[in-house]
Amino acid sequence: MSQEAMSRHLPRAAELGLIGCHVCGQVCRAVDADGDIQACPRCGSTLHRRKPAAYTRTWALLIAGFLMYIPANVLPIMRTASLGDIDDNTILSGVVELWVKGSPGLAVIVFCASIMVPMLKFLALGTLLISCRSGSNWARRQRAKLYRLVELVGYWSMLDVFVVALLTALVRFGYFSLVEPLPGVVFFGLTVVLTMFASMCFDPRLIWDGKEDSDD
């Protein structure tokens, strides 16, 4: 018997009339059937069975993040000027430059942080939102793991933003060499923040809320 099949019999807080506090973990008895406007006796935070409006909020933030992500990739994020030579870099060209000019290892890290992680967030959260809405019981443990991965690696996308900021502050040699941030970096920073908020608004408990297996 698989672990997933076994854990099907474990009681869930909602079934027992309990609510776990999101903030401090306190186990509370749900006062009424809806139990929505109840404060945690220990930390004072509002108790929710599920995060409020998880679908709407996550979708909204995810779409907003994606809208920012397009200019973040299309527009250059950084301008390097040396001896009158002007060169605009996008996120991808920065990765390519790092690869070509001698640090493939670091190029892979930057590629993961700047391109893979944002894509992962859009795809993973999108998949989670759609599959949870339909109450699907497909690969629940894996989807739960996917969500935890998104939460864990999400903020590392800020890497490129910090690189641009540092280079701007450091490369100030007037006519000889100069680095300037370009609008792409602002959009990219906003993408990271919006997708971080999106993953926070999603409630992983929804993964387990739908129908159980029929061969019970």
Which residues lie near Zn ion (CB under 5 A)?
21, 23-24, 26, 40, 42-43, 45
- Cβ closest to Zn ion, residue 4 vs residue 213: 4
Question: Considering the complex, what minimum distance in angstroms separates the CB of residue 69 from other proteins?
Answer: 15
Dihedral (C-alpha) 117, 71, 59, 202: value to the nearest 10 degrees? 30
Chosen from Zn ion, other proteins, none, partner binding at 133 (C-beta under 5 to 8 Å by type): none
Q: How far apart are CA 191 and CA 137, in angstroms?
A: 30
Residues 6+ apart with CB under 8 A from 21: 27, 28, 40, 42, 43, 45, 47
Contact between 101 and other proteins (CB under 8 A)? Answer: yes
Question: Considering the complex, what minimum distance in angstroms separates the CB of residue 4 from Zn ion?
Answer: 12
Q: How far apart are CA 133 and CA 158, in angstroms?
A: 30
Near other proteins by CB under 8 A: residue from 27, 37, 92, 116: 27
Chosen from Zn ion, other proteins, none, partner binding at 121 (C-beta under 5 to 8 Å by type): none
Taken in order 191, 194, 199, 203, the sign of the CA dihedral is negative
CB of 147 closer than 8 Å to CB of 199: yes
Chosen from other proteins, Zn ion, none, partner binding at 207 (C-beta under 5 to 8 Å by type): other proteins
**28-57 binders of other proteins (CB under 8 A):** 28-29, 41-45, 49
Near other proteins by CB under 8 A: residue from 135, 176, 212, 213: 176
